[in-house]
Structure 1
Amino acid sequence: MELRVAGAAALLVQHQSEDILARVNLFLGEGAVGKLRIAQGPVKPLAEPAQRPKSSRTPAPCPPRPRRNWPPPSPRPPRR
């Protein structure tokens, strides 16, 4: 399996290569990937996800919060 990584991230990926292989093989099945090859170079940016169409509906306003009807606590008496 070949991974293309940008600059300084290559050292981190190399350090964690056994964990990466273990997780990939856990997902794909034991022995699916035997070796990890790290290529250092520019990485293409992710493609922008398709924009969801705007809904013409507006969300309902939230109801007002109920007021609390108890008196505020009285202040403490001064210490002596």
Structure 2
Amino acid sequence: MQKIQHPSNNGVLGAPAGWDQANLPCGALPITRTQLSDLPAVVSYWRPSADELAVLDSGGAIALWVLGVTMPPVNLSVEGA
């Protein structure tokens, strides 16, 4: 999937402090700082490729990877054009 710009984007996240770019590159991520049910939230937008859409259409799944030893509260959704 490719990260994409969205009209609501109002910020950019970079690699965390001390990140080893040589070991695992981490580029800038356009984000939207917002709220969800009165809680602060950060949203990034992604678009699957044609190949990824074909995998999903044939029953494949989306995998959410979070580096570390636990998973923070997250949400996946589909947004219209």
Which TM-score tier does this pair reach, normalised by the shorter chain? under 0.3
Task: Kindly name which structure, 1 or 2, has the bigger radius of gyration based on alpha carbons.
Answer: 1
TM-score by length of 1: 0.25
Return the structure number with greater helix share. Answer: 1
RCO greater where, 1 or 2, for CA within 8 Å and sep 6 or more? 1
TM-score by length of 2: 0.25
